[in-house]
A and B are shown apart, each in its own frame.
Chain A
Amino acid sequence: MRDDLTKNHFELFGLPAEFDIDHAELASRYRELQRRFHPDRVAGASDQERRLSMQLTAQINEAFQILKDPLKRGRYLLALAGIETDEDTDTIMEPAFLMEQMDLREELEAIRERPNAHEQLAKMGQDIAQRRKARLDQLKQYLASDDNGAYQTARNVLREMQFLEKLSHEIDALEEELI
């Protein structure tokens, strides 16, 4: 049980450290691990064993949250390869990308005042969903390569996806507001 604490998330779940993940397999391993290490199951055990099992349960939950989410899984794979995404500290992005993000946010602000706001908002939502999908495919492609250059590109793609995710939330929020 102690050994399990030092495993990385993929190892803990007995899955290959790859971006393309079998979600059904992930879910069934999760249930299995939860059952095996549930603190109630080690009721007769020593205090130390119970503490270990509680720590492991927390780790299993955290690992599951990371592995099931594409962005978190991608970030985790990059970190395993020694590449941090520095989303808090590295503010340098492709200027053309940032300019486009600024335009999209301006557009979103302008939509609010338009008579056909609902329709335009839906259209913008679809456009952003497409952009996210395209980047998800790229992320999958770059993370499938062993090449360090491909991982650096994956880092950029992932950082861009963060902006698009935020924009999607803002579109959803405005949709709610306009109802």
Chain B
Amino acid sequence: MAYSDKVLDHYENPRNVGSFDKADSSVGTGMVGAPACGDVMKLQIKVNEQGVIEDARFKTYGCGSAIASSSLVTEWVKGKTLEEARQIKNSQIVEELALPPVKIHCSVLAEDAIKAAIEDFQEKQGAKENDDASSSAA
């Protein structure tokens, strides 16, 4: 199957590959997988005090479309608030990368990964606030 130029560009020069420390409280980690193709995607966001995503990293094992989808999303989320990042739809990824119908699930994977990362970050923050509250009450 022929990949679009944009997919090839992200595949050959993936943006933001790598990892943040999962234990860092300013980091949210999303891990998702697509059984259909056995792809695994890890997407991480680093969020500042204002709730803005400062930086993002990804690691994806999968086809070119899955790599391109995650690479693109890490670019898109930078500078966005969590609420804005949550609005990213897989259809936007499909459109930007001109993914064919059989590769739509790669874009679903990327959308779900960013949502999972946001959720993980917010859970961590919630846990931290609870800790703070209980320690101040003590």
A residues with a Cβ closer than 8 A to B are 85, 87-93, 95, 97-99, 101-102, 105, 159-160, 162-163, 165-167
Contact = CB atoms under 8 A, between A and B. Distances in A.
Given A91-B108, A105-B40, A99 B33 contact: no
A91 B34 contact: yes
A108 B31 CA distance: 19
Interface string B30-52: 01111111101010000000000
Given A89-B105, A102-B40, A102-B61, A163 B31 contact: no
Contacts of B105: 88-89
| Interface SS of B by simple majority | mixed
Which of B32, B109, B116 neighbours the largest number of chain A CB atoms within 10 Å of its CB? B32
B35 A98 contact: no
Closest CB pairs A-B (n = 5): A166-B38, A162-B35, A87-B35, A91-B32, A87-B36
A13 B19 CA distance: 52
Interface of B: 31-38, 40, 42, 59, 61, 105, 108-109, 112-113, 116
B32 A163 contact: no
B35 A163 contact: yes
29 contacts: A87-B35, A87-B36, A88-B36, A88-B108, A89-B105, A89-B108, A91-B33, A91-B34, A91-B109, A91-B113, A92-B32, A93-B31, A93-B33, A93-B35, A95-B31, A97-B33, A98-B31, A98-B32, A98-B40, A98-B42, A99-B31, A101-B38, A101-B40, A101-B61, A102-B40, A102-B42, A102-B59, A165-B38, A166-B37
Nearest to B120: A95
A92 B108 CA distance: 11
Contacts of B31: 93, 95, 98-99, 102
| Interface SS of A by simple majority | helix
Given A91-B33, A99-B31, A101-B33, A163 B38 contact: yes
A20 B36 CA distance: 24
Given A102-B61, A105-B61, A92 B38 contact: no
Contacts of A89: 105, 108
Contacts of B35: 85, 87, 90, 93, 159-160, 162-163
B94 to A, nearest CB: 14
A84 to B, nearest CB: 12
A95 B61 CA distance: 15
A165 B54 CA distance: 37
B112 A162 contact: no
A91 B33 CA distance: 5
Contacts of B36: 87-88, 162
A52 B123 CA distance: 58
Contacts of A88: 34, 36, 105, 108
A99 B42 CA distance: 9
A171 B98 CA distance: 30
